[in-house]
Amino acid sequence: MQGTAAAYDLIRFADPARVILVDARQSQAEAAVARVKSLTGTEIIEAQPVDALDPIALRSALLGVDVVLSCVPYWMHPHIAPVAIEAGVSMCDLGGNTDVTLQTLGLNETARAAGVTLVPDCGLAPGLVNSLGASLVEAMDPGVSVRLYCGVLPAHPQPPLNYKTTFNVEGLVTEYDYEAVALRGGEIVRIPTLTELETVHIPEMGEMEAFVTSGGTSTAPYTFQGRVKDYEYKTLRFPGHCAIMRLFKDFGFWREDEVEVRGVRVRPKDVFCRVFGEELGKIQDFDQCAIRGVAEGTVKGEPTRIVVDIYDRQDPVTGFTAMERLTGFSLSIVAAAVAEGRVVRGAVRYESALPGQFVLDELAKRGIHTRKVQE
């Protein structure tokens, strides 16, 4: 989903000579190529069947490529990055788990020696929300407090979850299950997920709940430590969703150790993702996305509070969902900048790769604008 949107955006805005969509399933790659061709009228895009975890096949597919956009489940990115480096190809990925991202960033020296650039966590959250966060840090004096919020939700929510899947369900469970990394009072802290519930009003959605999830801040707390006082992220959902998810977490449905069930050894998390993801996938509805950044501090010594909102809905013309647009387009923006030489060589933290305002300005060219209130 996200990769198809990124390919579409690259063709529209990056002027590539060639775009290749690779997937373990040939039929899926061909379907994505056909969709992009129908939307853009171009013939420069092609499909290839490649197993991303087969280093030989992947390296062969990467020959002659400038940048690879990794749109696979989060845990696969560190398997792809060394192959990209060996092939002399830069890489951007959608990230999703900070500990996994740190593995990719650990390849800095190798990437720099190979003359390539790696930028992980280039999606929505992590990704675009941290460009919004960086833009707020850029606009404020040192010592600012930044709170970020993001939620992708159905336009017509159905109880009891009031939710639909818009990306890989394993990544969703990871966000709900692992610890969050935040900056509080200038110190790096880890916070349990599905906690610290609060109410947030989003004009287009109404009263929403926000709670701690993992991965959204990415490496920004480490990067901004010493300049920023607080840097935190929460997920937005319709009220009541967090309590239901806590039941699954508290009663072990997301355990990763194996248990025996009728003579078969399984991981509860795998079973949950298979069943839960399939059922949620049956919900057909347009989606909508709300992003909010709140900064409190000073500007030129004067007490200031800035609130920046981004709101997007599924595009009825292209059919791309809000999640696909805000994730795939964000990834494309960074990948194009890497191809143009705007980002230094090596493994680069997302929030250090490009100015936050640059990404927001590029997004505006796609018709996705920010709404800012400063007081």
271 assigned to some structural domain: no
Band (pLDDT 50/70/90 cuts) for residue 284 is confident
218: tokens are 């990415």
Q: Residue 17: which domain range?
A: 2-119
Burial of residue 44 (CB within 10 Å: 0-12, 13-18, 19+) is middle
152 assigned to some structural domain: no
∠86-90-93 over CA atoms, to 5°? 110
Question: pLDDT of 104-127, one tens digit each?
Answer: 999 999 999 999 999 999 999 999
* Residue 70 · residue 80 · CB < 8 Å: yes
Nearest to 47 by CA among 17, 27, 70, 72: 27
- Res 206 pLDDT > 90: yes
Q: How confident is the model at residue 244, as a pLDDT? A: 95
38 assigned to some structural domain: yes
Report the CATH number at residue 109. 3.40.50.720
CB neighbours of 235 closer than 8 A, spacing ≥ 6?
125, 149, 150, 151, 175, 210, 211, 212, 213, 216
- Res 66 pLDDT > 90: yes
Nearest to 120 by CA among 107, 104, 106: 104
Structural domain count of the chain: 1
Q: How confident is the model at residue 113, as a pLDDT? A: 98
203: tokens are 């004009």
- Res 167 pLDDT > 80: no
What is the rounded CA–CA span in Å between residue 275 and residue 267?
Answer: 13
Band (pLDDT 50/70/90 cuts) for residue 283 is confident
Mapped onto helix, strand or coil, the DSSP state of residue 136 is helix
61 assigned to some structural domain: yes
* Residue 250 · residue 115 · CB < 8 Å: no
7 assigned to some structural domain: yes
The letter for the amino acid at 316 is P
CB neighbours of 21 closer than 8 A, spacing ≥ 6?
3, 4, 7, 29, 32, 33, 36, 45, 46, 47, 48
Mapped onto helix, strand or coil, the DSSP state of residue 362 is helix
246 assigned to some structural domain: no
21 assigned to some structural domain: yes
Question: pLDDT of 36-46, one tens digit each?
Answer: 999 999 999 99
Q: How confident is the model at residue 94, as a pLDDT? A: 95
85 assigned to some structural domain: yes
Q: How confident is the model at residue 352, as a pLDDT? A: 96
CA 222 to chain centre: 18
Q: Report, as an integer, the average pLDDT of 283-302.
A: 94
Q: How confident is the model at residue 92, as a pLDDT? A: 98
- Res 166 pLDDT > 80: no
What is the rounded CA–CA span in Å between residue 181 and residue 168?
Answer: 21
Q: How confident is the model at residue 117, as a pLDDT? A: 98
